Amino acid sequence: MYVGTLALDVLLGDVRSLKQKRSVIRPLIADLRRSFPGAAVAETGHLDAHRRTQIGVAVVASTPRHCNDVLTACERLVAARPEVELLSARQRLLSEED
């Protein structure tokens, strides 16, 4: 069993309030959940910042390749969104031996 995690550091466009931030982040998280139903997705950082957020994704799989494939596809989906700028993406893979 393998657990893959992905931390996406995202810069939002012209967002001036937490309410506007939510209006950008909620559809993005919903799209990730809809596209990858086996993955857990949540806003995990920069919760009080207006123009920045961190999105965490986790997936459990039987092979490390499957974890990597799902997390890479999640990263591409976020990077393709025109309303946000992906600043960094950090993947981590854990196995039963870790």
Give the pLDDT confidence of 37-76 residue by residue, as tens digits: 999 999 999 999 989 999 999 999 999 999 999 999 999 9
| The CATH number, out of the four listed (3.40.1350.10, 3.40.1410.10, 3.30.70.1120, 3.40.950.10), of the domain defined by the range 2-95 | 3.30.70.1120
Give the pLDDT confidence of 77-98 residue by residue, as tens digits: 999 999 999 999 999 999 988 7
What's the pLDDT at 96?
Answer: 86
Instruction: Measure CA 7 to chain center.
Output: 6
Residue 88 φ then ψ, to 5°: -160, 160
**pLDDT-wise least confident of 2-6, 12-16, 91-95:** 12-16
Q: Is 46 left (phi over 0), alpha (psi -120 to 50) or beta?
A: left
The structure tokens 């999105």 sit at 55
Which tokens is 20 given? Answer: 């506007």
Partners of 46 in the β-ladder? none
